[in-house]
A and B are shown apart, each in its own frame.
Chain A
Amino acid sequence: MNRPRISRRTMLKSTGLKTAGAVAIGLPLLEEMTLTTASAAGQVEVPVRAFNVFFGLGIPAPLQREGYDGVLEPLKPLRDKLLIMRGVDQLRADEKGINAHYDGATAAFTAQPPDGEAKAGGASIDQVIRRDHYPDGMPPGMVPTLVAGTFFRRSRIGRYVHSFNADGTVAATMQEKPRDLFERVFGTLEAAGDDPDQRRARLRRSVLDAVVDQYKFYTGANSPLGKTSRARVAEHLDRIREYEQRAYAMKGKIEGAPPLPERSTLLHGGSADPGGEGIDITLEELSSEWRLMADLYALAIQTDRTRFGALTFLAAGERIRLTGDYHYDGRKIFQFDDEGQLKKSGSAGCSHEWWHQFNEKKANEALRAHAHLKMREVAYFLSRLDTEESRDANGKTILENSLITISTESGDGRHNDVKRELSGVFHAISGGGGRFKTGQIVDVGAEGVDVYNTMLTAMGCKQRLGPKKRDASHVDAIRV
């Protein structure tokens, strides 16, 4: 990866430096953007923040038992600021006839089964906290909830969206390209919030993206058109781009915001999920895009543009055929080549299959490498919130001061035993401003709903997740 990291510090120091083939953040921060931090300095008060970080496919429970010596190794540098929770069960999320990838993923952060294909069963943790702590809404100009991710598999939304309102609807529109995320955070277009007209404008823009794509095809190498016709369509495409620029260009960006990132070259939208058949992608491509997203998301938190939301690294049941050498800490971990190693093409050649083939009596080399990679990338994001630039007025970092919940879809990828699949689902949380124990790995042996409600109690919330008529158990082991 040649791209330099985006950070608040580089924003403060640099002056719009742009490096080859990558984005660098420049220009000093505006007072507006630093206001919270600056004013907070006087009050020594830290805002309440909560974010959900999701990664697809999960870590089989037996591998979690290896602690930081196994696939969790990349989290080790942050272990003092994290609480790893083993033995969290999401069995109540099981819905017959629905793929466990989906109900497990929707249960992450909600502890509820999905309500149909486009809704969760209830609110997610971050939104409960938001509503409780900011009953009158977020401070003006702030992005109320920021939902973003680098993912390809889609179909039902619970696979990739992880922040939900109380009625189970998505809490905010998914930003799946770095540019979209940038515009959402640093553009003035929608800075005021998610009003219906702006939402409509965003959806119409996605329509235009699909239209542009069709015109691009007819001007490209595989166009069925001859020279003269192709020239006509190219002219049309130019006019669309001109129109796009006029109609949808960011009206302006918040002063001092970093430069607009380059356009993503990865597949997005429908192309990213061609009928569940999966896509080919290199480690370099995947990691570069994710890290740009992670940097931008972290920057949004650092600059107090948002305090709630969710970030997804690969969807539930993600289908990619990954290639590339994987190095960590100066050693080669693995050479990814899913299709070659699985000796299958299409969906059967995707990394997904390693989870279906998991066998604790075997080495599970490929699965381990993929899970290790996921932890590396999750750790990358978390570490962005644990730098000097992320230090709040109380001297602690954002990672320490916020409730950041990390979870996934299943505790075992084999579909033949739902109980096994939805038990022992990996969870980790940050300290939440000193409310939770950190530096430990705890076998909680509890239902997700009890774990989450314990977290909400600790965060000072009155609302609870799950059925009202239920004997709740408190998971005191996680609280300070």
Chain B
Amino acid sequence: MRNLLTLALLAFAAPALQSAERVERGLLVRYEMGDGEGRTIQDRSGVGKPLNLVIDRSSRVRRSGGGLVIESSSRIASSQPATKIIDAVKRSNAISVEAWLRPSDTSQSGPARIVSISANTSNRNFTLGQEKNAYDVRLRATESDNNGLPSTASPKRTVQTKLTHVVFTRDAKGKATLYVDGKLVARKTVKGKLRNWNDQYRLVLVNEATGDRPWLGELHLVAIYGRALSQQDVRQNFAAGSQSKAAEPISEQERIARANRRLFDRHVAPLLATHCLECHDAAIKQGDFDLSHKSAALASGESGNAIVPGNVADSLLWDLVTSDDMPKDRPPLSTEEKAVLRKWIDAGATWSVDTIDPAVYLNEGQAGEVWLQRLTVSEYIETVRSAVGVDIGDEARRILPPDLRADGFNNTAYNLNIDLKHVEAYSKLAEIIVDRMDILKFAGRFSKSRKLSTDDTMRDDVAAIGKWLLRGPLDSREINKYSGIATTVASAGGDFEEAIRYIVEAMLQSPRFVYRVEYQHGDGQPRPVDDYELASRMSYILWGAPPDETLMKAADEGELGDSKAVRAQVKRMLHDPRTIRRSQEFVSQWLNLGRLSNLRPNGKRFPNWNAQLALDMQRETLAYFKEVVWAQNRPLADLLNAQVTYASPALAKHYGLEPIGKGIQRYDLTEVPSRGGILTQASVLTIGGDEASMVSRGLFVLNDLLRGTINAPPPCVNTVPPPTKTGLTQRGIAESRVADQKCGVCHIRFEPLAYGLEKFDGIGAYHEQDEHGNKLRDDGEVLFPGTAEPVAYQTSAELMDLLAASQRVQQSLTWKLTQFALGRPLVAADAPVVDQIHQAAQKHGGTYVSLITEIVMSDLVQRARTEAVP
């Protein structure tokens, strides 16, 4: 009821409701007609290459009151064909055209062209016009003529000489609607496909391309979308008003302050994080300088003020950096970096945050890059299974090169490169796949026709099959190309079945199958993804698989523009078993479980090790994950201390547990304080190698659980650890490194994190003494990144509880899962959104389900990064 009331209010509200935001999804062009000066009207959509318009006779128009007044016959047209509109509309088979206008009178006719994509008075793709006191829309489709007739018209006397909001929509099924001031005034079916749109027509406003159907009046805003706006969308745009909300004027002081904050965010913070915080953060604070906290950095230190805002000469930081005394034992700052630092201090040393988290800036080098994602091996297998029902797992794993790990995951887009072996494999696999398919049954899902001719139904078949296999509508270029295979097959004496076979084989190797292709051009700012892009993002994030029919249908019908509908889809999708498999893929990649298959511990030292035990260790962690995350639906951080595990008899014995049955069994660890949580599982403990290295284990906890950063050891440092012996344990060796003046600066950050694991040997067995009879300890302390004081723990179990309760660990899990979902390392610009995801998910328990849901709903998924078109 309340919703209905809101809608009713929106429906009848005047454009005075200026606060609503305009709908952006599916936007192709937007013109604010009163904007700017001169003859050019800029395309403000930020989508793709701007399609700017030029006023032919500026003397006949004038800008006034936020609009463009057309006083006598004029023509405002693109100089090039409206390719981005035409391509998108042909692909989606849907369109919306919106205009805010004030007609000069109710007698102009022709129809007088308001918005047109046409060549002349008898050839058009689309025209919104005025025929006396009615609006009239002509739309070319395969079942209307080249002039777009019959048209869709509003009732008579709809046109009034006041500022009016007019929207025409036509969805993929042919349903056309016309709205005036948010109200539905006409409804019609425009049958057919829009694929017969002419590629060469330009976008023309206030006239026909030939200049003989002028429209007079005021035009304030024109926008075109590649989808049918819903009634709610139309009302939202009506409520948003005829002009984009003007930005609040900002003072010169504020402008400078913003520029300084930007300088800090983009250049200074990454610089300090990379070069300084290793020794000068809250924990180490060498020379009594803490450059990680704003308050500390600006305060006086032992030797003076590190940073004196506005005065570089008195800033000790500048003095040390410019003389190359700092960073100590590291390469000096470059000339450009020094210039940035100087500029920042001189400009007042503005900070945009209170604390610099170095982890946020780790990947700044990749900030501007937009990589398309190749399907990983597991995604390829799942995609084939979902798309054509063939299990190609064995062959694909055998002949596709494995995906290499980068930035902690195997699905990192920039590292999913391509080799000749991939190409050979895709070709071979495609052949195997179609051999296993029942081609006619598959084709029958899309059409009953068995006709081979491209003049009959083959092009429609290609379009339908392609849309399914390639996860979105095909454009005419693609339909032509794939249809060509059918004619080649025919000319070789082949039949329909053979043609479909080869078409599918080609599609399975095409870029739109092998990669997740998205539109990447824009103005450099994120743009809303379209429905099909979103559907693919959702399905690959949740399932590692393509959209199913339900999700594709939602995309077809434009439902994914509604966040409630998206949330409902996510909820539905979470019940699919593929979601569990995908989540296990996450944990498998995060903990690099694949590594276990390649481990070859020293046979003399670890005689119990064998390949089956390694496999059992992997299975333990996956089963444990499934138990904690899915069976118990616990917060993700509980992975650190849940008192349960799954083990085979051999693994149970390895852990000192009494085997309780054959195969993998669930073991309650409530009474086993030494075990419980992933850090006590052999799959993770083996990270330390045969020597149970505290460096390796500590670094894992620091990097993968605490999202801490650490630089590589300085050159010429001997990194070979001394062996343990009677009286010298791993702990003893680690403590001596921590105490060392040079090494300790860094090692204090991570080695104590592994103290609690000393009782686990290189392959995860538990001991109270080491091989030399030295008594082992599991007490220690944790220094959480960004904090100054470590927190002590007495036992391994206490360490696990500390970690599980740590906000830093919870945040790190959010970061890890977000990175996996996006398939790319996160950069500083992502940090605020990741924080929003984290906060929202924590409100719902911090579970995998809540996290993955919030990730999908976030701007990191709902919007796509773009590269600015030069």
A residues at B contact (CB < 8 Å): 117-118, 147, 154-157, 160-161, 169-170, 173-174, 176, 199, 202-204, 206-208, 210-211, 213-215, 217-218, 222, 224-229, 232-233, 235-236, 239-240, 242-243, 247, 268-277, 345-346, 348
Q: Are B520 and A225 in contact (CB under 8 A)?
A: yes
B858 at the A/B interface (Cβ < 8 Å)?
A: no
Q: A204-B431, A224-B521, A225-B372 are in contact. Are A169 and B484 (CB under 8 A)?
A: no
**Which single member of B419, B424, B481, B520 contacts A270 (CB below 8 Å)?**
B481
Q: Are B485 and A207 in contact (CB under 8 A)?
A: yes
- In the assembled complex, the Cα of A139 lies from the Cα of B484 at a distance in Å of 34
The 8 closest A-B pairs by CB, nearest first: A270-B484, A269-B484, A226-B867, A174-B491, A155-B455, A226-B520, A229-B372, A270-B480
Q: Are A269 and B487 in contact (CB under 8 A)?
A: yes
Residues of B within 8 Å of A233, CB to CB, are 372, 511, 515
B196 at the A/B interface (Cβ < 8 Å)?
A: yes
Q: Are A224 and B519 in contact (CB under 8 A)?
A: yes
Residues of B within 8 Å of A273, CB to CB, are 454, 480, 483-484, 487
Q: Are B476 and A274 in contact (CB under 8 A)?
A: yes
Residues of B within 8 Å of A208, CB to CB, are 427, 506, 509
Q: Chain B's nearest CB lies how many Å from the CB of A168?
A: 10
Q: Are B488 and A269 in contact (CB under 8 A)?
A: yes
Q: Count residues on chain B whose CB falls below 8 Å from chain A CBs.
A: 69
- In the assembled complex, the Cα of A271 lies from the Cα of B427 at a distance in Å of 22
**Which single member of A170, A218, A227, A348 contacts B493 (CB below 8 Å)?**
A170
- In the assembled complex, the Cα of A348 lies from the Cα of B122 at a distance in Å of 13
Residues of A within 8 Å of B369, CB to CB, are 228
B769 at the A/B interface (Cβ < 8 Å)?
A: no
B854 at the A/B interface (Cβ < 8 Å)?
A: no
Q: Are B480 and A204 in contact (CB under 8 A)?
A: no
- In the assembled complex, the Cα of A217 lies from the Cα of B515 at a distance in Å of 14
B residues at A contact (CB < 8 Å): 48, 83, 119, 123, 146, 195-196, 198, 200, 369-372, 374, 414, 417-420, 422-424, 427, 430-431, 451-456, 459, 476-495, 498, 502, 505-506, 509-512, 514-515, 517-521, 866-867
In the complex formed, the residue of A with least CB distance to B488 is A206
Residues of B within 8 Å of A242, CB to CB, are 420, 423
- In the assembled complex, the Cα of A206 lies from the Cα of B512 at a distance in Å of 18
8 A-B pairs within 8 Å (CB atoms) are namely A170-B491, A218-B517, A232-B418, A233-B515, A236-B423, A247-B427, A270-B454, A346-B198
In the complex formed, the residue of B with least CB distance to A168 is B493
- In the assembled complex, the Cα of A277 lies from the Cα of B424 at a distance in Å of 36
Q: Chain A's nearest CB lies how many Å from the CB of B489?
A: 6
Q: Chain B's nearest CB lies how many Å from the CB of A220?
A: 11
**Which single member of B456, B506, B518 contacts A210 (CB below 8 Å)?**
B506
Beyond the given pairs A156-B455, A225-B520, A269-B481, 9 more chain A to chain B contacts, judged by CB atoms under 8 angstroms and listed by A's residue number, are A118-B494, A202-B492, A207-B506, A214-B481, A224-B517, A243-B424, A247-B424, A270-B485, A345-B200
**Which single member of A169, A204, A229, A345 contacts B371 (CB below 8 Å)?**
A229
Q: Are A276 and B482 in contact (CB under 8 A)?
A: no
- In the assembled complex, the Cα of A373 lies from the Cα of B851 at a distance in Å of 70
Q: Are A170 and B492 in contact (CB under 8 A)?
A: yes
In the complex formed, the residue of B with least CB distance to A276 is B455
Q: Are A155 and B453 in contact (CB under 8 A)?
A: yes
- In the assembled complex, the Cα of A155 lies from the Cα of B502 at a distance in Å of 17
Q: Chain A's nearest CB lies how many Å from the CB of B106?
A: 34
Q: Are A215 and B511 in contact (CB under 8 A)?
A: yes
**Which single member of B196, B418, B491, B494 contacts A236 (CB below 8 Å)?**
B418
In the complex formed, the residue of B with least CB distance to A272 is B484
Which of B146, B422, B427, B519 is the most central at the interface, judged by chain A CB atoms within 10 Å of its CB? B427
- In the assembled complex, the Cα of A157 lies from the Cα of B456 at a distance in Å of 13
Q: Are A211 and B453 in contact (CB under 8 A)?
A: no
Q: Are A204 and B502 in contact (CB under 8 A)?
A: yes
Residues of A within 8 Å of B417, CB to CB, are 232, 235
In the complex formed, the residue of A with least CB distance to B422 is A239
- In the assembled complex, the Cα of A217 lies from the Cα of B200 at a distance in Å of 19
Q: Are B200 and A154 in contact (CB under 8 A)?
A: no
**Which single member of B491, B505, B521, B866 contacts A157 (CB below 8 Å)?**
B491
Q: Are B418 and A270 in contact (CB under 8 A)?
A: no
Residues of B within 8 Å of A174, CB to CB, are 488, 491-492
Q: Are A271 and B492 in contact (CB under 8 A)?
A: no
Q: A170-B492, A235-B417, A269-B488 are in contact. Are A213 and B479 (CB under 8 A)?
A: no
Q: Chain B's nearest CB lies how many Å from the CB of A59?
A: 24
In the complex formed, the residue of B with least CB distance to A206 is B488
Q: Are A232 and B371 in contact (CB under 8 A)?
A: yes
Q: A207-B506, A214-B511, A240-B423 are in contact. Are A226 and B866 (CB under 8 A)?
A: yes
Q: Are B453 and A228 in contact (CB under 8 A)?
A: no
- In the assembled complex, the Cα of A224 lies from the Cα of B91 at a distance in Å of 14
Q: Are A213 and B423 in contact (CB under 8 A)?
A: no
Q: Chain B's nearest CB lies how many Å from the CB of A148?
A: 11
Residues of B within 8 Å of A157, CB to CB, are 487, 490-491
Q: Are A207 and B459 in contact (CB under 8 A)?
A: no
Q: Chain A's nearest CB lies how many Å from the CB of B72?
A: 29
Residues of A within 8 Å of B517, CB to CB, are 218, 224-225
Q: Are B487 and A235 in contact (CB under 8 A)?
A: no
- In the assembled complex, the Cα of A273 lies from the Cα of B125 at a distance in Å of 21
**Which single member of A117, A206, A213, A345 contacts B456 (CB below 8 Å)?**
A117
Q: Are A214 and B512 in contact (CB under 8 A)?
A: yes
Q: Chain B's nearest CB lies how many Å from the CB of A383?
A: 27
In the complex formed, the residue of B with least CB distance to A225 is B520
Q: A156-B453, A161-B491, A226-B521 are in contact. Are A210 and B371 (CB under 8 A)?
A: no
Q: A214-B511, A225-B517 are in contact. Are A270 and B198 (CB under 8 A)?
A: no
Q: Chain A's nearest CB lies how many Å from the CB of B346?
A: 35
Q: Chain B's nearest CB lies how many Å from the CB of A201?
A: 11
Q: Chain A's nearest CB lies how many Å from the CB of B496?
A: 8
Residues of B within 8 Å of A204, CB to CB, are 427, 431, 502, 505
Q: Are B487 and A227 in contact (CB under 8 A)?
A: no
**Which single member of A207, A224, A243 contacts B505 (CB below 8 Å)?**
A207
Q: Chain B's nearest CB lies how many Å from the CB of A408?
A: 19
Q: Are A275 and B502 in contact (CB under 8 A)?
A: no
Q: Are A239 and B491 in contact (CB under 8 A)?
A: no
Residues of B within 8 Å of A226, CB to CB, are 370, 520-521, 866-867
In the complex formed, the residue of A with least CB distance to B119 is A345
Which of A213, A226, A268 is the most central at the interface, judged by chain B CB atoms within 10 Å of its CB? A226
Q: Chain A's nearest CB lies how many Å from the CB of B28?
A: 13
Q: Are B520 and A213 in contact (CB under 8 A)?
A: no
Q: Are B451 and A117 in contact (CB under 8 A)?
A: yes
In the complex formed, the residue of A with least CB distance to B201 is A345
Q: Are A211 and B372 in contact (CB under 8 A)?
A: no
**Which single member of B492, B498, B510 contacts A173 (CB below 8 Å)?**
B492
- In the assembled complex, the Cα of A157 lies from the Cα of B490 at a distance in Å of 6
**Which single member of B452, B488, B867 contacts A203 (CB below 8 Å)?**
B488
- In the assembled complex, the Cα of A72 lies from the Cα of B83 at a distance in Å of 44
In the complex formed, the residue of B with least CB distance to A119 is B493
Q: Are B485 and A269 in contact (CB under 8 A)?
A: yes
Q: Are B453 and A210 in contact (CB under 8 A)?
A: no
Residues of A within 8 Å of B476, CB to CB, are 274-275
Q: Are A227 and B484 in contact (CB under 8 A)?
A: no
Q: Chain A's nearest CB lies how many Å from the CB of B465?
A: 14
- In the assembled complex, the Cα of A23 lies from the Cα of B414 at a distance in Å of 43
**Which single member of A217, A222, A227 contacts B867 (CB below 8 Å)?**
A227
Q: Are B198 and A345 in contact (CB under 8 A)?
A: yes
Q: Chain B's nearest CB lies how many Å from the CB of A240?
A: 5
In the complex formed, the residue of A with least CB distance to B867 is A226
Residues of B within 8 Å of A210, CB to CB, are 481-482, 484-485, 506, 510
Q: Chain B's nearest CB lies how many Å from the CB of A242?
A: 6
In the complex formed, the residue of B with least CB distance to A164 is B493
Residues of A within 8 Å of B483, CB to CB, are 270, 273
In the complex formed, the residue of A with least CB distance to B451 is A117
Q: Are A203 and B512 in contact (CB under 8 A)?
A: no
Which of B452, B477, B491, B506 is the most central at the interface, judged by chain A CB atoms within 10 Å of its CB? B491
Q: Are B511 and A218 in contact (CB under 8 A)?
A: yes
Q: Are A243 and B427 in contact (CB under 8 A)?
A: yes
Residues of A within 8 Å of B196, CB to CB, are 275, 277
